[in-house]
Chains A and B, each alone.
Chain A
Amino acid sequence: MSETLSQLGKYAEEAGTKVTSLRKNESTVEVSQDRLKAFLAHLVNDVHVRHLMTITGLDLGQTLAVIYNFSLERDTIHVRTLVPKAKPVAASICDIVPGAVLYEMELHDMFGIEFVGNPLKDQKLLPPEEWPADLPPPLLKTTKADQIRRRLGLEAAKP
């Protein structure tokens, strides 16, 4: 763990969470939704971990996990936060990391998480335009690929 990371560890402890090391160079921090923005602001502005690689979504059954994957030279830092599946709303981090716009749009399309404050959140990024409104987001575990194919009319017309 590098010096920046131990510095981050101190801050994380003050915020009531801690940095867990997954493997060499790779650590993960669990932050609650209401503390997330303050934590990320500290990460980006004070620790200078500026490169957001992407935002990963995970379906954990009852909840959705949103993982912000940052990298700083040799270190990879996953900042992990949970969003309830029943009410998938999260705060946008576009004001802290402007490069997050498209990743948040992607997560909105794939998991149905609404990012409050994202400037382009009403746009569709990935799914086709004729995507039925009542179809659940594709990457949820309950959604089946065949079901989507049937609704999109992609099932082959076999003789």
Chain B
Amino acid sequence: MLEKLTNWSRKRSPWVFHINASSCNGCDIELVASLTPRYDIERFGAVLVPSPKHADVLIVTGVVNAQTRDRLRRVYEQVPEPKHVIAIGACAAAGGVFKGCYNAGQGIQDVIPVDMFIPGCPPRPEAIMYGVLKLLGEVK
């Protein structure tokens, strides 16, 4: 019973921590744009929190390089269970246009497990909203 209630409240108010793993800023500004009045993802209870320790959902943008790889792993470890990871953008999903650069990986799933990919370069704020809601099971 209590578990059901916790799950319900978790679904109603996902707290999001955003980490930029060597992204070009394009996905990041679209993520912030989805918080602003036009799109307002806070309608669904999603809040950007400043610390990974408070977060339910970790949003990762950017192609991971050798410098941010360990930081990403450490941030992931700090997110309490149950945790979900959303990869925004082509870079986070598979390396995007930076595939083959000497200091760029091929997507964040090589570093941490990913629950949802939102492809796009960058995805529209609506696409980000769709991905977050799909993760929560609100839309099919």
Contacts and interface: CB of A to CB of B under 8 A. Distances in A.
A153 B105 CA distance: 9
B25 interface: no
A128 to B, nearest CB: 4
Q: Is the interface of A mostly helix, strand, loop or mixed?
A: loop
B66 interface: yes
Interface in B54-70: 65-67, 69
A129 B68 CA distance: 10
A14 B61 CA distance: 55
Interface stretch (A17-25, A114-122, A144-152): A144-152
Interface residues of A, number: 15
A50 B7 CA distance: 63
B100 interface: yes
Contact of A149 (B67, B69, B102, B107): B102
Given A128-B65, A128-B67, A154 B105 contact: yes
A128 B104 CA distance: 11
B106 A145 contact: no
Nearest to A148: B102
Interface residues of B, number: 13
A120 to B, nearest CB: 18
A13 interface: no
B52 to A, nearest CB: 21
Contacts of B110: 156-157
A129 B67 CA distance: 7
A152 B101 CA distance: 12
Contacts of A130: 66
Contacts of A145: 100-102
Contact of A152 (B100, B103, B106): B103
A138 to B, nearest CB: 6
Interface in A120-134: 127-131
29 contacts: A127-B103, A128-B65, A128-B66, A128-B67, A128-B103, A129-B67, A130-B66, A131-B66, A138-B102, A145-B100, A145-B101, A145-B102, A146-B102, A148-B102, A148-B103, A149-B102, A149-B103, A152-B66, A152-B102, A152-B103, A154-B66, A154-B69, A154-B103, A154-B104, A154-B105, A154-B106, A156-B106, A156-B107, A156-B110
Interface of B: 65-67, 69, 100-107, 110
Interface of A: 127-131, 138, 145-146, 148-149, 152-154, 156-157
Given A156-B110, A157-B110, 17 more contacts: A130-B66, A131-B66, A138-B102, A138-B103, A145-B100, A145-B102, A148-B102, A148-B103, A149-B102, A152-B102, A152-B103, A154-B65, A154-B69, A154-B103, A154-B104, A154-B106, A156-B105
